[in-house]
Amino acid sequence: MSKLFDIQSYMTHGVERVVGDIMKATFRNPKESAYMAKFALASRAASKKRRKAEDAGEHIPPFLIASITSQCNLHCAGCYSRCNHATVDAAPVRQLTSEEWLKIFEEADELGISFILLAGGEPMIRRDIIEAAGKRPNILFPVFTNGTFMDDRYFDLFDRCRNLVPIMSIEGEKEITDARRGTGVYDRLIANMDELHRRGLIFGASVTVTTRNIREVSSASFLKKLSDRGCKAVIFVEFVPVTDDSKELAPGDKDREYLASEIACLRKDYPEMVYISFPGDEKSSGGCVAAGRGFFHINSHGGAEPCPFSPYSDINVRDTSLREALKSPLFMALQDGGLLNDDHEGGCVLYEKRTQVEALLNRQT
């Protein structure tokens, strides 16, 4: 790792900003404020653990993405996960059990990982795992969901376990959301938001940003509707094309500059919500933070991967610890070889450089 760029300090500062923003966004909600105050203390303790490990020559990232199932009930247009065959209609036999995921969550807590993003497939299909996550209050678990499995049992669970935060995927207004996700999905999402708001539960929205919806989803009118319904976080995820015919949907440099400018204004003018862009401007933030630099991904079968958009693995957490998975030959080769800092057109460097990633993987195996 570059001595000129302290990745641990950079990521710690990012965590502190996110936690601070969430605390500001929830200060009017007594239950959420009480939990976030405790989580802020836990987050600072986790940062100290990571810094101590860094000083001893071991890098621990603050974020983990956990795809707890590969099963999904929707067929969203252009879904990278389905195109990579990482998402399917029926649950495969060899997925990690809830006990195995709980072990991962426990070790993550011990290492100082503060955020575990639960994804899929559709994560709410695995209620057992989400209930297990609720038992680790030192970790904040954003649950990235299509919203179609939300029910009273889930509403009650989110009320009991404030470290579980539903992040619902929405593409903009009704027409563009239903066009990508299916008829009726938008109305279901809005109904979920209204019920969460009625119960005093915080939630967020995840938006896949394309050339078609970038201005709509970053507009004050769209975001005000979310805010009025109680939304406290919006995560903008740049569309990554996995087929040649979808490349025109991927944001270019001008689109990313526009989005970055809009987010800067939103943070200033509408501080009641948290705004996060992924991957954002890697070129000004020390390069890509995947492959364990800032986060890594565990797929539903236990494979440790650099990123959901880079589904390559040479180690499985079924066979080893989380700590050892972070030292996988592939992760080390990506970090030491400079690929994460390579020049690229923008968006996801690991997807754009996938031929080189595959070559590194083949070299390690």
Assign residue 354 the CATH number of its domain. Answer: 3.20.20.70
145 assigned to some structural domain: yes
- What pLDDT, on a 0 to 100 scale, did the predictor assign at position 5? 57
Predicted structure pTM score: 0.92
Asked if residue 89 belongs to a domain, the reply is yes
Domain assignment present for 258: yes
- Domain assignment of residue 308, yes or no: yes
State the chain's mean pLDDT as an integer: 89
pLDDT at 269: 84
Flag whether pLDDT at 285 surpasses 80.
no
* Whole-number pLDDT of residue 8: 74
Residue 2 forms part of a structural domain = no
Amino acid letter for position 228: D
Of residues 358 and 320, more confidently modeled:
320
- Residue 102 in any domain: the answer is yes
In terms of pLDDT, which residue wins out, 314 or 342? 314
Q: Residue 303 has what DSSP assignment? A: B
Has residue 283 got a pLDDT over 60? no
Q: What is the pLDDT of residue 15?
A: 81
Residue 74 has pLDDT above 80, yes or no: yes
Q: What integer is the mean pLDDT of 94-118?
A: 96
pLDDT band at 218 (very low <50, low <70, confident <90, very high): very high
Does some domain include residue 309?
A: yes
pLDDT higher at 356 or 348: 356
pLDDT at 1: 40
For residue 1, is it within any domain?
A: no
The kind and range of the H/E element at 43 are helix 30-55
pLDDT in the model for residue 224 = 92
Torsion of CA 227, 125, 103, 138, to 10 degrees: 20
Question: How far does CA 87 lie from the centroid of its chain?
Answer: 16
Percent of all residues in the chain with a pLDDT value above 90, rounded to a whole number:
61
With a pLDDT cut of 70, the percent of the chain lying above it is 94
* Domain hosting residue 204, numbered range: 7-364
Asked if residue 15 lies in contact with residue 115, where contact means CB atoms within 8 angstroms, the answer is yes
- Counting the structural domains of the chain, the total is 1
List phi, psi (to 5°) of 298.
-115, 120
* Residue 141 or 24, more confident: 141
Q: Does residue 194 surpass a pLDDT of 50?
A: yes
